[in-house]
Amino acid sequence: MSRAGTQGPGGRTGHAGTDLSPPDGTRAVDIERRPPAPTAPPARLTWQKLTFLPATVAIGLLATWLWFRGAELDSIARNAIADGNVWLRLRQHVELTAISTFFVLIIAIPLGIALTRRRLRPAVPVVLAIANIGQATPTIGLLALLVIWLGIDTKAALVGIVAYAVLPVLANTIAGLRAIDPTLIEAARGIGMSALGVLRTVELPLAVPLILAGVRTALVLNVGTATLAYFGGGGGLGDLIATGINNQRMPVLVLGSILTVALALLVDWLASVVELLLRPRGLEGDA
């Protein structure tokens, strides 16, 4: 994911950078138009793209529901899903994912921007090295240590989920900001823009696709890590899966697993749609 993410914008800006025109809007549009496009630009959203996955997931969920209604449940299995437990766990899972993603983004993106500023740049290799070791740490181990440290609580689970996703998103943000053609930044500085102005009008807009990719990465990672929140007392759909495994009740296990899979696929799909919709028009074509 990071590979494609960093190459895309880099290639595009490299192309624009060879044209030493001042980065004012009108000229840029002109340059974009000059080579007559051989074909119409591909639509960013096709009906197939929009509907295939949700339709598949809906059919899968319907089939699961029909099967589950017919499945024979003994008292243990019935207990595991009694009192709206399924809805509760689903809601917890969505909440864990949303809250943790929010924190990942407000930590990782500003930190990534700060680390690419001139003064903090020497710290980047250190941070990336820590990020690499962090990736090697098993999520479940990290979560367990946090639970021991902070106590069995939703908070411990949240901290674990956030800690695990911050590093990849941070590494992605740094890579993306670094991939921006330095001549563009130099040109912007040359026409008298302040460092803040360059960041706001040149660097951040060019890094939007990458930041959006970061959001998607964080969401997908967090849906996954949230299944482990159960082991830290954070609830979530992991509760159904673990109960199913512990008690050897296959219907509960399968129900929990399928709901988790459906949620993960839908979240990824939603993020991809948002990614397509928010991508700046000027950067199109590198998807």
Partner 1 sequence: MSFWEYVGNRRTQLLLDTYQHASAVFQCMVVATVLGVLLGVLTYRSEWAGNLAITVTATILTVPSLAMIGLLIPITGLGVAPAVTALVLYGLLPIVRNAIVGLRGVDPDLVDAARGLGMSRMARLVRIELPLAWPPILTGIRVSTQMLMGIAAIAAYASGPGLGNEIFRGISSLGSANAVNKVMAGTLGIVLLALVFDAVYVLIGRLTIPRGIRI
User: Binding to partner 1 by residue 224, rule CB under 8 A?
Assistant: yes
Residue 264 interacting with partner 1 (CB under 8 A)? yes
| Piece of the chain touching partner 1 by CB under 8 A; list 23-31, 41-49, 192-200, 252-260 | 252-260
> Does position 139 bind partner 1 by CB under 8 A?
yes
Q: Between residues 137 and 194, which has the closer beta carbon with respect to partner 1?
A: 137
According to the binding rule CB under 8 A, does residue 63 interact with partner 1? no
Minimum Å gap between C-beta 129 and partner 1 is 12
For partner 1, the closer of residues 46 and 194 by Cβ is 46
**Binding of partner 1 by 148 (CB under 8 A):** yes
The answer to whether residue 183 forms part of the interface with partner 1 (CB under 8 A) is no
Inter-helix orientation angle 204-226/250-278, to 10°: 170
* Residue from 162, 253, 275, 283 binding partner 1 (CB under 8 A): 253
For partner 1, the closer of residues 112 and 238 by Cβ is: 238
For the chain, give the DSSP string. Answer: -HHHHHHHHHHHHHHHHHS-----HHHHHHHHHSSPPSSPPPPS--HHHHHHHHHHHHHHHHHHHHHHHHS---HHHHHHHTTTHHHHHHHHHHHHHHHHHHHHHHHHHHHHHHHTSGGGGGGHHHHHHHHHHHHHS-HHHHHHHHHHHH-SSHHHHHHHHHHHHHHHHHHHHHHHHHTS-HHHHHHHHHTT--HHHHIIIIIHHHHHHHHHHHHHHHHHHHHHHHGGGGGGT--STHHHHHHHHHHT-HHHHHHHHHHHHHHHHHHHHHHHHHHHHHS-GGGTT--
Exactly one of 50, 261, 270, 276 binds partner 1 (CB under 8 A); that residue is: 261
Query: Whose CA is closest to 206, among 187, 179, 230, 227?
Result: 179
Among 179, 209, 227, 235, binds partner 1 (CB under 8 A): 227
Stretch of residues binding partner 1 (CB under 8 A), selected from 17-25, 79-87, 120-128, 258-266: 258-266
Work out whether 150 is an interface residue with partner 1 (CB under 8 A). no
Q: Kindly state whether residue 175 participates in binding partner 1, applying the rule CB under 8 A.
A: no
**Residues touching partner 1: how many (CB under 8 A)?**
40
Summarize as ranges the residues that interact with partner 1 (CB under 8 A). Answer: 3, 133, 135-142, 144-145, 147-148, 152, 220, 223-228, 231, 237-238, 241-242, 244-245, 250, 253-254, 256-258, 260-261, 264-265, 268
